[in-house]
Chains A and B, each alone.
Chain A
Amino acid sequence: MKNRTFFRGRAKRAVVAIAIALPLLGAFDSGAVAASGATVRTADGALTPPTQGMTPQQSVGKGEGELNLIAWEGYAQPEWVKPFEQETGCTVNAKYAGSSSEMVSLMANGGGGQYDLVSASGDADLRLIYGGDVKPVNVNLVPAWKQLRPFLQSPDFNTINGVHYGISLQFGPNDLLYSTKVFPKAPPSWSVIYSKQYAGKITVPNNPIQIADAALYLSAHQPKLGITDPYELTQSQFNAAVTLLKQQRPLIKAYWNLASDEISLFANGEVVAGASWPYQTGQLQAAKVKVADTIPSEGATGWADSWLLAAKAPHPNCAYKWLAYISTAKVQAEQAVNYGETPDNSLACPLMNQLQKGSCDSLHANEPDAYFKSIKFWKTPLAQCDNGQDNCVPFQQWATAWTQVTG
């Protein structure tokens, strides 16, 4: 009966609902989902971050007693948060975000005057920077910044036009995980995950950014396409990558969503090769599953996280104290071993081995520069390419195309 009245009265109620919704929309407009800060375009059409002109502070004063972080789960563990709190008197309040998009939403309006720092990944950094949600950082106030690997001091995912918007934190490659039963020697090329020979025994992440992996493969195997950056693809380059992934679809056993999904796929023997992270390798090897990982000759994509400073950070002194603390070799080693990722601080390796024997090697913290150069780090694909032209395919279309790929 209730449902019948609902139907009869629905026209009237809809009018009331709209009357209620309109003022709500006003709030919505200036709220979390709305465009936060206007992106400025200069005369030559190049994008400029809205906060570029803000002068960063020149010294770190007394702590404000509080520090509000938006972090990935596992990035604010008591092992290194407790000593920081004792040392600085800044009480850390961490809000864990489930996805890059959630981080971007939470950080809208410069963190809403509530949050100080966000541990954003490369696929969110540019959204935050061009959205005006983060502001320039003075790297001179972070002593350990000089100890970071050179290529992570001013990477293009957190440094624009020479202005730093954050401090690089940790990273990891999207490497090739394979069963050593099937591959006694490491496969030299990513071609195994595109090969009919292993049909039904392949897994890749369920993530549009996987298109960059295909583009990276094509940059080596179809040089005519002229792909130089797998995140900046023209329409024809993009189409070629999507076509490759559509051809790959019948070979896929499952598109994995969580690291634990891929771990069980390998542990059950459902797949023999797939795109992965070193974390899965460590977990599987610890469970005595015969697997290993490698970065094939084409190189690999990778993710790199940075702590970015909110434009309206209410506790800037505590934020700078955190940036200085989290970049030190000791804390970097703790976080790397705890989370299973590679530290950005180049002096962390021996400290990692003290915490867990062999962890420096297994997490690739001591590789030669050639290894790191083979990793292309995630960044948000934007319509504007680095050359200033507007003919690159933006991330939104990546997402649409990914739905076409997975069917």
Chain B
Amino acid sequence: MVMTKEARRGREPTGVARVSAALWRRAWLRAALTLSPPLAWFLIIYLASLVVMLVTAFWTVNSFTNNLQHQFSLTNFGALFDAPIPAIIGRTVLLAALVTVTDAVLALPFAYFMARVASRRVRHALFVAVLLPLWASYLARVYAWIVILTKDGTLDWATQRLGLGSPNIAYTNLAMGIVFCYIWLPFMILPVYAALERIPDSFIEASADLGARNARTLRSVVLPLALPGVVAGSIFTFSLTLGDYITPLLIGSGSGTNLIGNVIYDNIGLANDLPFAAALAMVPIAIMIAYLLGARALGAFEAM
């Protein structure tokens, strides 16, 4: 009996077998089934929330009840041009650019050493060193910087020993810049490393064979090939600085240190002015779209 049952099963395909056969015959169905859950997620959770935010930016807050009023209005976008918002946007973009340049300058020699000079073991150790801070909480690392930068903190203590006075730079734009450079550095090192590692040794040898010295090889071969990696890394450092609100709240709470991120945060948390926060949130998105289009022109996405 058992034998015949199994034999019959072998002849007549079961439901599962039929489905798998159908999927094998129709490749498009297979693709649709595997892609639709993540795609639906992407559309509903990610893009739809962006659309909701965009729509919110056209609403206003009732000044009597502080409730949202669903009436189309451009006042929130107009308010983006009122002082001090343009200055805050300018400060944020400038800081993001400076952080990006600093990180690129720091990351290039480091990534070059990792990719082309270090032995396998040293490279692994450096990888761990780059990634280790990412395992610790962002907040804990920012607070560690407060301890370093505050009055009579680690930095002041060190400079006083060296007879350089006490800089006491906590709660300033400089302090924010330093912390951003530190926190986003791994996001610059890794893509630059990936770009440098892909340069074939033969390119360097060919350059030497053609009579180029080290400096010329670096300038004409290594740096151009590393550039897509730098641009890819800069997308991270630039966009993360552009949107961050925790560091400005904790490190930059002095005067004249508002960034886009914490102004959005204040408008949601303290002021309950969601429409203006949504309008202001469009600014970094617009800046990043322009930035990404520029980065694509430089071929940054091949390096990712």
Contact = CB atoms under 8 A, between A and B. Distances in A.
A131 interface: yes
A80 to B, nearest CB: 29
Contact of A383 (B52, B63, B151, B271): B63
Contacts of B61: 396
B273 to A, nearest CB: 5
A39 interface: yes
Contacts of B263: 403
Interface in A289-329: none
Interface in A369-407: 380, 382-384, 394-400, 402-404, 406-407
How many A residues touch the partner, as a band? Answer: 35 or more
B287 interface: no
Contacts of A396: 61, 63, 66, 271, 273
Interface string A225-240: 0000000000000000
Contacts of B66: 104, 127, 131, 380, 394-396
Contacts of A39: 64-65, 67
Interface in A22-80: 24-25, 28-29, 33-36, 39, 47
Which residue, of B51, B257, B267, B293, has the highest number of chain A Cβ atoms within 10 A?
A: B51
Nearest to A207: B270
B48 A21 contact: yes
Contacts of B266: 206, 399, 402-403
B170 interface: yes
Contacts of A257: 249-250, 253
B64 A399 contact: no
B270 A99 contact: yes
Contacts of A397: 63
B271 A395 contact: yes
A287 interface: no
B55 A399 contact: no
B255 interface: yes
B65 A17 contact: no
Contacts of A84: none
A86 interface: no
A257 B47 CA distance: 32
Interface stretch (A148-156, A262-270, A332-340): A262-270
A365 B250 CA distance: 33
A101 B274 CA distance: 11
A36 B67 contact: yes
Given A252-B255, A254-B253, A13 B64 contact: no
A2 B168 CA distance: 45
Given A13-B47, A400-B79, A406-B255, A268 B63 contact: no
Nearest to A256: B253
A21 B56 CA distance: 12
B150 A130 contact: no
B258 A208 contact: no
A290 to B, nearest CB: 16
B116 interface: no
Contact of B255 (A3, A255, A261): A255
Interface in A195-220: 206-208
B48 A47 contact: no
A1 B43 contact: no
B69 interface: yes
B158 interface: no
A152 B51 CA distance: 45
Nearest to B269: A99
Nearest to A28: B52
B254 A404 contact: no
A253 interface: yes
Nearest to A203: B253
A35 B44 CA distance: 24
Interface string A84-98: 000000000000001
A380 B186 CA distance: 44
Contacts of B270: 99, 101, 207-208, 399, 402
Contacts of A18: 51
A134 to B, nearest CB: 13
A130 B255 contact: no
B18 interface: no
B115 to A, nearest CB: 22
Contacts of B254: 252-255
Contacts of B203: none
A250 interface: yes
A4 interface: yes
Nearest to A250: B255
Given A3-B296, A270-B150, A17 B69 contact: no
B164 to A, nearest CB: 19
Nearest to B302: A1
A24 B53 CA distance: 12
A335 B62 CA distance: 36
B292 interface: yes
B62 to A, nearest CB: 7
A28 B79 CA distance: 25
Q: Identify the 4 closest CB pairs spanning chains A and B, nearest first.
A: A399-B271, A394-B63, A17-B47, A407-B256
23 contacts: A7-B296, A17-B43, A20-B48, A29-B70, A35-B68, A99-B270, A104-B66, A206-B253, A206-B266, A207-B270, A250-B255, A255-B255, A257-B249, A261-B250, A383-B64, A395-B63, A395-B272, A398-B271, A399-B273, A400-B273, A402-B270, A403-B263, A407-B257
Given A252-B255, A270-B150, 15 more contacts: A3-B296, A16-B47, A17-B43, A20-B48, A35-B65, A130-B64, A249-B255, A252-B254, A254-B253, A255-B255, A395-B271, A400-B79, A403-B266, A406-B255, A407-B88
Interface of B: 43-44, 47-48, 50-52, 55, 61-70, 79, 82-85, 87-88, 146, 150-153, 168, 170-171, 249-250, 253-258, 263, 266-274, 276, 292-293, 296, 301-302, 304
